[in-house]
Amino acid sequence: MKRVNLMIILATLLAIFSGYAFADTTRELVQNDRMYALYDLSAIPLDLRAYGNIYFVSSISANASDDGAHGNSWFTPFATIDYANGKCVAPSAANKSTGDLILVSPGHVEDPATGVTIDFDVAGVTLWCLGGDNDRARIDYSFANNSVDIGANNVRIHGLTLRSSVTDVLIGIDVETTVTGTILEDIRFLAGEATADEFIVQIDLKGTNTDTIIRRCDFREYAASAGQTTGIILSAACTNVTIEDCVATGNYSTAFIDDGAACVDLHILRNTMKVADGEPGIELTAATTGFINGNVIESTGLAVDSMIVAAGCSWTNNWGVTADGASATLIGSGGLFTADLATAQLNHLMQTTTTVAADADLTTYIADGTALAHIMSATANTSTFAASTDSLEAISVAVAANAVEIAEADANNLAILADTAAIQQSAPYAVTKALATVASGLNNLFTVSGGPVKVLELVAYVTAEIEGKSCLINYSFDPTNPATDTVFATTGTALEINADAIGTLYTWDGVVANNLIATTNGVALGLPTESGIILPTGSLELAAVVSTSATGTITFYLRYLPLAPGATVVAQ
């Protein structure tokens, strides 16, 4: 049986590596020289992973360059987005492509020269910016005539951040005439670099644009940005445009969403916007058709029913706020809730006392058989309703009386769950250790107990400057058994940390015989999740060669997965 299993494993590995060796380098999900990119590609939707070329862009890489020898990996990326777009090819039956993909690293920043545009003029291109909300790729507009132009069909931009660095930038994103299938999602328009810097228009659909989606975008401008007119404008007639789940705060002097001609099937859904005082949030021509639903608009001093101007659209469940701190009112209600409650003589629910005792018969005030009577009584007979036992407060008291018993039951259930190995191993764990002085010899860092663990990341960070003297460091592991230490993260000479400054990072590339790497700019690449050393029970130590000791503080961060139930790592 063991020989059969071994044969199956060897055959599988042979198939994998044979496929890798003979893969079509322009059509595989990950080309032959970038298998290490699988971790980053795992965050990309499945529909983007097949058939197209994949290019990498990162201005923070020391190896970045815009030439034919770059762009195929994170190690040798392109330097600019526009150059990467120029390398893309449109989908066709001949190349069997669904569109090329441009991946942009966290921390990427571009600041184009005057008149320079980033022009997406190749159909089917997807720009995907990796990272969190605060470190995704950013374009700075230092000149009023900078812009991001979309001049080809089926372009998708995800996660890009845009910032104005000068007053009166004309357009942030310009979707050119007749372009179709544009998707703009999770895009952030930051408030200007200075309080007076702004985009006059943040997104401009020039006209005859169809099947356009703008979703989950964040539009921000300072109140002092006096030149801003609108967030999204449909300058000429467009068809089937959806604007959904966006947030906007800006001094929009016309409206956040505006059009210049009649549009068809315009859908404005679940957006929140704050505009200039006295201006509407949505202002469309009377002939524009579509649906406006679930939006919230704040415009100080403007009547709520004037916050949406869209005579040709159907709209419902939109709310308006007339001042900071005020509650919202349904747009289009005409004061329905205040006037009609009084007309329907329901004031006794809110303003008029019944003058009867708490458990008295309420039939005089609430007729038997009404909807409210059905809510109050199982028989829809309000004479059986007793406030002392049936009111919300009485029910709350009864529930509280059972709280201890419920809590004990929950605690027992949680204890059972916490004791299961499956839950313990469901996610990586992290521990830290601060070493205030680096002593000569072995410095205790972490203890592994309960079974082996897999180390996913081991990073050190200088939080107090290292003393100015020679100090060589590497890692050593002292296992419980056998009684022989294992030295790693050194070529034999180890890493010199003499006088290293606060903020220096020490990382390890996962190769036992390679030195630690010191990074002084505060940003370093981590290990892919496929890497990691296996540590049995024992002690992880920092080995140092220094005269007596060196002052300065280094904080160590270790992220690991337990490989056995109960396996843990704790700081010594």
Domains of the chain, by residue range, sit at 241-347, 358-398, 428-571
Topology, domain 428-571: Jelly Rolls (2.60.120)
Q: Is 320 left (phi over 0), alpha (psi -120 to 50) or beta?
A: beta
Q: Residue 46 is encoded by which pair of tokens?
A: 């499945």
Q: Return the beta strands (E) in 159-305 as ranges.
A: 161-164, 169-175, 183-185, 188-190, 199-205, 210-215, 218-220, 230-234, 239-244, 247-249, 255-259, 264-269, 272-274, 282-283, 290-293, 296-298
pLDDT of 161 reads 97
What's the distance, Cα to Cα, between the start and end of the chain in Å? 45
Which pLDDT belongs to residue 98? 79
DSSP state of 131: S
Task: Give the chain's radius of gyration (CA, Å).
Answer: 32
Spell out, as residue ranges, where the chain has pLDDT lower than 70: 1-51, 333-352, 404-427, 527-531
Measured distance CA(75)–CA(98) in Å, rounded: 26
Strands annotated E in 218-347: 218-220, 230-234, 239-244, 247-249, 255-259, 264-269, 272-274, 282-283, 290-293, 296-298, 308-309, 314-316, 319-321, 329-330
DSSP letter string over 425-462? TSS-EEEEEEEEEEEEEEEEEEEEESS-EEEEEEEEEE
- Strand, helix or coil for residue 110: strand
- Which of helix, strand or coil describes residue 480? coil
457-418-434-549 Cα dihedral, nearest 10 degrees: -90
Residue 7: C-alpha distances to residues 13, 15, 375 (Å): 10, 12, 70
Structure tokens of 399?
């529930």
Question: Which tokens is 86 given?
Answer: 């120029």
Q: What's the pTM value of the predicted model, to 2 decimals?
A: 0.56
Half-sphere exposure of 208 (CA within 13 A, CB side): 6
Question: Is the Cβ–Cβ distance between 149 and 119 less than 8 Å?
Answer: yes
Residue 553's contacts (CB-CB under 8 Å, 6 or more residues apart) are: 434, 435, 436, 462, 463, 464
pLDDT at 352: 65
Tokens of 429: 């764990």
User: What does the DSSP assignment read for 499-528?
Assistant: TPPTT-EEE--S-TTSPPEEESSS------
The answer to whether 473 and 515 have CB atoms below 8 angstroms apart is no
484-535 tens-digit pLDDT: 888 988 888 899 999 999 999 999 888 888 999 999 887 777 766 556 789 9
Burial of 94 from C-beta contacts in 10 A (0-12 / 13-18 / 19+): exposed
Q: Give the separation between CA 209 and CA 219, rounded to whole angstroms.
A: 21
Tokens of 23: 């893969």
Q: Are 140 and 111 in contact (CB under 8 A)?
A: yes
For helices 403-418 and 392-401, angle between their N-to-C axes, nearest 10 degrees:
50
CA 119-121-124 angle, 5° bins: 120
DSSP states of 88-109: -----TTTT-S--EEEE-TT-E
Assess contact for 242 and 267: CB atoms under 8 A.
yes
> Within the chain, what is the greatest distance between any pair of CA atoms?
94
Around Cβ 290, how many Cβ atoms within 10 Å?
23
> What's 228's DSSP letter?
-
C-alpha distances out from residue 27 to 22, 54, 81, 101, 552, Å: 12, 9, 21, 12, 51
Distance CA 338, CA 320 (A): 16
Nearest residue to 221 via CA among 246, 245, 252: 252
Within a 10 A sphere around the Cβ of 335, how many other Cβ atoms?
11
Predicted confidence at residue 19, as pLDDT, reads: 38
142: Cβ contacts below 8 Å, ≥ 6 apart: 111, 112, 114, 165, 166
